[in-house]
Structure 1
Amino acid sequence: MRDTPDVIPPRPGFTQREVRTIVLGLTLALFLSSLDQTIVATALSSIAGDLGGWDLMPWVVSAYLIASTVTTPIYGRLSDLYGRRPVLLVSVTVFVVGAVLSALAPTMLALIAARVVQGLGGGGLRAIALAVVGDILPPRERGKVQGYLSATFATANIIGPVLGGLFVEYLSWHWIFWVNLPLGAAAFAATYFQLRRLPLPGKRPKIDWLGAALIVLSCTPMLLGITFVQRAGSWLAPEALLCFGLGLAFLVALILQERVASQPMLPLHLFANRIFTAAICITALASMVMMALVILVPLHYQLVGGLSAKDAGLRMIAMTLGNVIGSFLAGQAVSATGRYRFLSLLGSSVAVGMCLVIAWLGLGHSLVQDSVVTLLLGLSFGCQFSPITITIQNALEPRDGGIGIACMMFFRLMGGAFGVAFLSSLLLGALPAGATGAAAEPAFAMVFEAAAVVAGLSLLAGLALKEIPLRGRD
């Protein structure tokens, strides 16, 4: 008979003022993690010019992405066993230390190592911040807050590249890391003072360190394999196949370990919950489409529509704005109606339709058409992502709240990575060398049709999602 950690005690009553203060701190933590993924991209050439090592430049981004992704489920489980507050404080501290090391890095290799440290902290910021909402509010009242937090991701996507460009032009690339210090200090202070009343598990946990190691060993080769696929433009690249083989082998070992562990790092019983499994499929498939389109839509603007990089970036604002608005409105709708399934179906249906519109009509021909189509795409993503957090928290036991949200974030990140690799390799395989304008349009049409198929699978997962009443304070 397995031991299980004591169920987290009932949430203490928080006043509206306390909730607002806590949410502000959580928003800072989420913004800290999300901003880092976008602010670095615009400074890469400046960093490589200063430190050298142009061939290592992509690893400045990949190192953070891999480290933060593979540690996300580990942080979520540790927060269930030790409590949200101490684990979130550790995450913020590690993240800020990594930012300082990055700012002071004398070589490209030192910077990549520092980015790994920063990613080890970033993995906890996202998962635990979302899980804390489940500790302070019942599911029926979380919609508005989750909408705000989901909008934070999209806002960071808008501000990040702009800030990165400004820092590089007027200060130096070092400031893209120094800016994390005041933000990190504010997030640490808010966490330290405002989360002291959160309940702690009453039983001394038994940490499944072997399970944690196997999570890292199974996920890291998978993400490295995706990186090799993107570079080679083929899923049959020898390095990618080797990485995927290693990842699958360690995944089998992970499943065997978690079946016998007394307090598994990744509880397999979560996947026996049909609502949880359907929600994970929805978020992974939707992320595949969204992250791939964030890369491919600007490329379509430039290669087919003939727009400059600047104009292509400006036209992406509509999609990002739609994501922010969609997340906010979806959160309001969940709180008002107590229902979430219709939002997933609506979002995935609109995503299918807009992908097909782009495939048939193209982009870059009309500003009005581009704005409407990409705005609707952004709205569809907001409708899919925002309610999923509440769906998962409502379907799971309180003791599994942290690992449940961490799994959601993990599969969202993995789905996004696979989506970019899948659709990018599809484009590279069909796009004639040097093709632009009308010559490139059929290749892009095929890619957007494939994106519509993936969005259609998300719609099917939404049809399988069972809706149960959202719990209130009673």
Structure 2
Amino acid sequence: MRDTPDPSSSSLFSPGEVRLIVLGLTLALFLSSLDQTIVATALSTIAGDLGGWALLPWVVSAYLIASTVTTPIYGRLSDLYGRRPVLLVSISLFVLGAMLSALAQSMPMLILMRVVQGLGGGGLRAISLAVVGDILPPRERGKVQGYLSGTFATANICGPVLGGLFVEYLSWHWIFWINLPLGAAAFAATYFQLRRLPLPGKRPRIDWPGAALIVLACTPVLIGITLIQRSGDWLSPAAWGCFALGIAGTAALILQERAAPQPMLPLHLFRNGIFTTAIVITGLASMVMMALTVLVPLAYQMVAGLSAKQAGLRMIAMTLGSVSGSFLAGLAVTRTGRYRALPILGTSTALAMCLVVALVGLGHSLLLDTAVTLALGLGFGCQFSPITVTIQNAVDPRDGGVAVACMMFFRLMGGAFGVALLSALLLGRLGPGGTASPEQAAAAFSVVFLAAGGIAALCLIAALRLQEIPLRGRS
């Protein structure tokens, strides 16, 4: 695979044009990531306005599920039809869904429009990372992928803040209206800056049965995870019924993709050892990162008695660490042309910090909390941007879109599983109603952080097995 000529169009773009393209891609990624968090702080206001409290959790879940299950489909379509047209469709769907969400008059209508928005959000994620593979060779992508990886962490911290400000000073409708000018800017940047990207030469044969089976296989799994996350019960019959449907759908998907002449999900990717190892690393790392993003502020409140505002402020260190780690790791890949040491370093750091938190706890010292969470963020950042470059360098460039989309898909699925798994473990330890004393809560969180360390240890084993091959340059 690595000897295949890279058909990237890096020679078509000047450094100034590359910067403008990256700015547009960052904006597109920010839009898709922001929309997962900006709604959270407005849910009670939305429910009070539209009613339908029982349906409230699906305002968030509808977007998450729709954007996740479509991610690999968008990646493959961009390989077959070209990045620019598919990205423009994604932005249009996203903006349309945002506009209709702002105009929603009932909870069911809002949930349906969030599905439309999620259908666009999946493309924003998948294709934005893949475009970098079209404008820069692997040897030069690290720094840019660092910027893009840092965008996720930035959106995670900006979302709740912006949502709260809009609700307090304007209305919840502005949570969706804000996407219109930002989406228009992303559309313009994509339309004008990517016109010179070449289109695939041959007429594609779309594996629509494969696309349908991807949706049918993944949607029940995500619904099952959502049910477990809401109840904390891993023995829920409804959740396991969803998992059974997902397994059946996955089996049917594998049979379909083996027979399809141009499969929506090329199975030969998983015979590539570097690709498969990198997918395992990103999935396990995301399990730990997303779970700790939810559980660390909860530990601050339940164990140390901090307010929600104080807990949120102490999370800034982890966010800054993640952004800084992504940027520095990407810069290191660009300058050295090597990537293997970075996931090992990042995973080792995350593992060590999980053990420190499990043994010492959080909330005793602002200095200690800042140091530990900053190190956790740096550890996470060192894993994500190098893995993107690793995958793009290891696969045939003609599969670049679907390969990066698979990485994003497993990253999202890993995060969902991690939150559900460790949240259920915590709820089981806290007992009925979660009314444990601070001492009991401290013991429960200690077990949870040890479990997170166990996942990080598995991630480290996978990182040690990652093979390093030279990054392709412009030649």
TM superposition shift of 1:13: 2.6
Q: How does 1:202-241 map to 2 (within 5 A)?
A: 202-241=201-240
**What's the counterpart of residue 183 of structure 2?**
184
Q: Does the aligned pair in 2 maintain the 1:9–1:201 contact within 8 Å?
A: no
Note if 1:336 corresponds to 2:335.
yes
Q: Does the aligned pair in 2 maintain the 1:298–1:313 contact within 8 Å?
A: yes
Structure 2: how far apart are the matches of 1:428 and 1:190? 46
TM superposition shift of 1:231: 2.0
Could you list the per-position Cα deviations for residues 248-272 of structure 1 after superposition, in whole angstroms to 9, with x for gaps in the alignment?
Answer: 0010000000001000000000000
More displaced stretch, 257-266 vs 10-19: 10-19
Superposition TM-score, scaled by structure 2 size: 0.98
- Matched position secondary structure for 1:440: helix
Q: Does the aligned pair in 2 maintain the 1:147–1:327 contact within 8 Å?
A: yes
TM superposition shift of 1:438: 1.2
TM superposition shift of 1:432: 3.1
Q: Does the aligned pair in 2 maintain the 1:301–1:363 contact within 8 Å?
A: yes
Match of 2:466, as an amino acid? L
Q: What's the % identity of the aligned pairs?
A: 76
Per the alignment, do residues 453 and 166 of structure 1 end up closer, same or farther by CA in structure 2, a change over 3 Å counting? same
Could you list the per-position Cα deviations for residues 433-465 of structure 1 after superposition, in whole angstroms to 9, with x for gaps in the alignment?
Answer: 411311211111011000000001110110111
Q: How does 1:1-400 map to 2 (within 5 A)?
A: 9-11=7-9, 12-400=11-399
Q: Does the aligned pair in 1 maintain the 2:150–2:322 contact within 8 Å?
A: yes
Could you list the per-position Cα deviations for residues 128-181 of structure 1 after superposition, in whole angstroms to 9, with x for gaps in the alignment?
Answer: 000000000000101111111111111111211111111000000000000000
Large movers: runs of 4+ above 6 Å: none
Q: Does the aligned pair in 2 maintain the 1:80–1:201 contact within 8 Å?
A: yes
Q: Does the aligned pair in 1 maintain the 2:71–2:406 contact within 8 Å?
A: yes
**What's the counterpart of residue 409 of structure 1?**
408
Superposition TM-score, scaled by structure 1 size: 0.98
Match of 1:287, as an amino acid? S
**What's the counterpart of residue 438 of structure 2?**
437
Match of 1:419, as an amino acid? G
Structure 2: how far apart are the matches of 1:85 and 1:376? 38
Structure 2: how far apart are the matches of 1:391 and 1:280? 10
TM superposition shift of 1:7: 8.9
Note if 1:448 corresponds to 2:449.
yes
Q: Does the aligned pair in 1 maintain the 2:12–2:196 contact within 8 Å?
A: no
**What's the counterpart of residue 3 of structure 1?**
none
Structure 1: how far apart are the matches of 2:304 and 2:425? 20
Note the aligned Cα RMSD (angstroms). Answer: 1.1
**What's the counterpart of residue 420 of structure 2?**
421
Match of 2:80, as an amino acid? L
Structure 1: how far apart are the matches of 2:99 and 2:373? 37
- Matched position secondary structure for 2:261: coil
Match of 2:132, as an amino acid? V
Structure 2: how far apart are the matches of 1:367 and 1:10? 47
Q: Does the aligned pair in 1 maintain the 2:8–2:133 contact within 8 Å?
A: no
Q: Does the aligned pair in 2 maintain the 1:8–1:201 contact within 8 Å?
A: no
**What's the counterpart of residue 467 of structure 1?**
468
Q: Does the aligned pair in 2 maintain the 1:8–1:199 contact within 8 Å?
A: no
Could you list the per-position Cα deviations for residues 315-351 of structure 1 after superposition, in whole angstroms to 9, with x for gaps in the alignment?
Answer: 0111011001101100111011111110000000001
Which residues of structure 2 form unaligned runs of 5+? none
Per the alignment, do residues 362 and 30 of structure 1 end up closer, same or farther by CA in structure 2, a change over 3 Å counting? same
TM superposition shift of 1:431: 1.3
Structure 1: how far apart are the matches of 2:314 and 2:180? 32
Per the alignment, do residues 431 and 234 of structure 1 end up closer, same or farther by CA in structure 2, a change over 3 Å counting? same
Q: Does the aligned pair in 2 maintain the 1:302–1:308 contact within 8 Å?
A: yes
Structure 2: how far apart are the matches of 1:428 and 1:26? 39
- Matched position secondary structure for 1:207: coil
Could you list the per-position Cα deviations for residues 379-409 of structure 1 after superposition, in whole angstroms to 9, with x for gaps in the alignment?
Answer: 0000001111100000011100000000000
TM superposition shift of 1:430: 1.2
Structure 2: how far apart are the matches of 1:164 and 1:389? 30
